[in-house]
Amino acid sequence: MFEDFTLESVAVGDVTLRVRHGGRGTPVVLLHGHPRTHTTWHEVARRLAPRHTVVCPDLRGYGRSSLPPDAADHAQSSKRAMALDVVRLMDALGHERFAVAGHDRGSLVAFRTAMDHPERVSHLVVMDGLPVVEHLERTDATFALSWWHWWFLAQDAQPAERVITADPDAWYRTPPPEEIGAGNHADLWAALRDPAVVHGMCEDYRAGLGIDRRHDEADRAAGRRVDCPVLLLESADDDLDVHGDPAAIWQPWLRHALSHRVIASGHHQAEQAPGQVADALLEFLAAH
């Protein structure tokens, strides 16, 4: 994986991020979702590297990136904190302005990076994600049944940690190594069997139901919107449309018209359709 990429740990304020970076050209940050690590991007990254400098970190609390002690309102795992990690990481790597793409939970971090640091973000790509407040305001029985893990992982009494760490192999289901790459599979499972990572992932969801929602609400009330070009990549075989048309839900958050493409894959686009994802990113970054 990641031939000719550099693997290192970079201190960014109160956390240290594990990151792979390589390639040449204008920079793009790729942010993974739950429960993946940065290695989910290995096939996409190699396709982007001839034309872009590609930066793939583990989010704080995931993979081998660290997480500070738990704070009030789970603020240590807020998307605002994670977005600041991204900016500080790019500072450390010498990149002033960059594109950011995020999948799943990473899409929330990418969105928050563009909202909080508009002067730094040239392009935003969101993959299978909406602003968290849009999900929560539309919650009904269908959403709660389909996305029930949100509510379980976010319980403050930490039942999720006890259940998951008791038997992670029973809790998580992943494709076999030959489908997602042996190195990616091994890295993912090393993380899933680490109690500290399980706690970090749960804290991400706890922040999502509280402090992250309040940040979205404050932005909307103030009329803040994403200034840069935005691309939505939606999986054909997932359920991002559980609330209706996701492109229509996104548009009020954006100053410019949304670009939208459907990827012929299940939820984990970067593993199931890396060629389509890379092509979509390359076309979008070149066109705007």
- The model's pLDDT over 29-56, given as tens digits with 9 standing for 90+, comes to 999 999 999 999 999 999 999 999 999 9
Helices (H) and strands (E) in the chain, counts: 15, 8
Residue 225 falls inside a structural domain = yes
Residue 244 falls inside a structural domain = yes
Residue 116 falls inside a structural domain = yes
pTM of the model: 0.98
Counted domains in the chain: 1
Residue 1 falls inside a structural domain = no
Categorize the per-residue pLDDT at 96 as very low, low, confident or very high, splitting at 50, 70 and 90: very high
Residue 234 falls inside a structural domain = yes
Residue 95 falls inside a structural domain = yes
Q: 104, 116, 128, 212: which is the annotated catalytic residue?
A: 104
CA distance linking residue 277 with residue 41, whole number of Å: 10
Name the residue range of residue 186's domain.
6-287
The domain that contains 233 carries what CATH number?
Answer: 3.40.50.1820
Q: 34, 117, 260, 267: which is the annotated catalytic residue?
A: 267
The CA distances from residue 64 to 6, 111, 130, 190, in Å, are: 15, 23, 26, 9
- Active-site annotation holds for 104: yes
Tokens 């563009």 found at:
114
- The model's pLDDT over 106-155, given as tens digits with 9 standing for 90+, comes to 999 999 999 999 999 999 999 999 999 999 999 999 999 999 999 999 99
Residue 216 falls inside a structural domain = yes
Q: What token pair was written down for 192?
A: 């899933």
